[in-house]
Structure 1
């Protein structure tokens, strides 16, 4: 059985409705939940609390990176279990999140069961089933488009220029791969 202190969860999420839903769900599961919409607010909460768990959104308001939050949380407590949630999943950000101290990386939509399972599945497993399929060109293209969009603060015109494609072509591709 874990102590009450180990059941403190910090949620760093700028979407108030989603954060409220997660908070209620984790509170019902016995966690003490703290919420911060960004890095500065999270740092302020850490002055008074020592959470053992954290859920961090990858893309916060004002194009702030949740990766900075992961880095700060890991420096604060290297034992903290940190799960990164994102609607903008890519191999690049997943690798960086893990390098910076996250124990897991989940694509949205993820629910409380998924997140709690991620907290409980910290150790890696060599028994993970390997796919027989190589990553498709479309998946690689989508990851590259997303990476450039994030670099350009989601400016479609600038992203299209950097990708060497017409703005309307990029807009059509984004419409087909709409991310909610």
Structure 2
């Protein structure tokens, strides 16, 4: 049942123009027919028209959440293998992405080989490395904010109220890159 790369269509959904160009070129060289969408509407139109077998989906598109787009894409193309890519990783969003049907979740920066490996993996890796030390308090704070934000469907004001912080403070925290473990 394994198809050759040349027979597969890959939809890249990301609002980062440079990432799209680099990934398009790299995946085309690996034999994929590559389609690129910059937002949810364009992604759904391309998915409807071309029925891609695989897709990469950015978690944080400019005006929408990849998590909201994920089930819509899978409803349209049930067999599509979708991996979620993000520069703003958290345990909460990783769990939600998998629950919603993503086959994998990768933290940016990623290269084409990592994407290819993630798309082709059928099972989890029991040999995955376990961190030697627990996450820092800053990382735990970031994770908690992401969890509460997810619980409030991305609503910044409701999340700020739930966390007991000012909305602008929360917005500043969310604009920063996640803290490393």
Over 3 Å counting, the alpha-carbon distance change for 1:37 and 1:167 in structure 2 is closer
Does the CA-based 8 Å contact 1:104-1:122 persist in structure 2? no
Over 3 Å counting, the alpha-carbon distance change for 1:4 and 1:161 in structure 2 is closer
Q: Which runs of 5+ in 1 are unaligned?
A: none
Q: Which runs of 5+ in 2 are unaligned?
A: none
Partner of 1:74: 74
Over 3 Å counting, the alpha-carbon distance change for 1:143 and 1:26 in structure 2 is same
- Provide the rounded CA distance (Å) in 1 between the counterparts of 2:45 and 2:102: 20
Please list, as runs of the form range in 1=range in 2, the aligned pairs for 1:24-43 lying within 5 A after superposition. 24-43=25-44
160-169 or 41-50, which deviates more: 160-169
Partner of 2:9: 8
Over 3 Å counting, the alpha-carbon distance change for 1:4 and 1:113 in structure 2 is closer
List per-residue Cα deviations over 1:113-157 (Å, max 9, x = no partner). Answer: 11111112231133334345333332111222345678345x8xx
- Pairwise CA distance, 1:94: 0.4
- Pairwise CA distance, 1:37: 1.4
**Secondary structure at the counterpart of residue 49 of structure 2:** coil
Q: In angstroms, what is the RMSD of aligned CA positions?
A: 3.0
**Secondary structure at the counterpart of residue 113 of structure 1:** helix
Over 3 Å counting, the alpha-carbon distance change for 1:141 and 1:15 in structure 2 is same
- Provide the rounded CA distance (Å) in 1 between the counterparts of 2:94 and 2:12: 18
Partner of 1:113: 113
- Pairwise CA distance, 1:160: 5.8
Count of residues in Structure 1 that have an aligned counterpart in Structure 2: 174
Residue 130 of structure 2 is aligned to residue 130 of structure 1: yes
Partner of 2:102: 102
- Provide the rounded CA distance (Å) in 2 between the counterparts of 1:112 and 1:18: 11
Does the CA-based 8 Å contact 2:6-2:31 persist in structure 1? no
Partner of 2:45: 44
- Pairwise CA distance, 1:44: 1.1
Over 3 Å counting, the alpha-carbon distance change for 1:43 and 1:128 in structure 2 is same
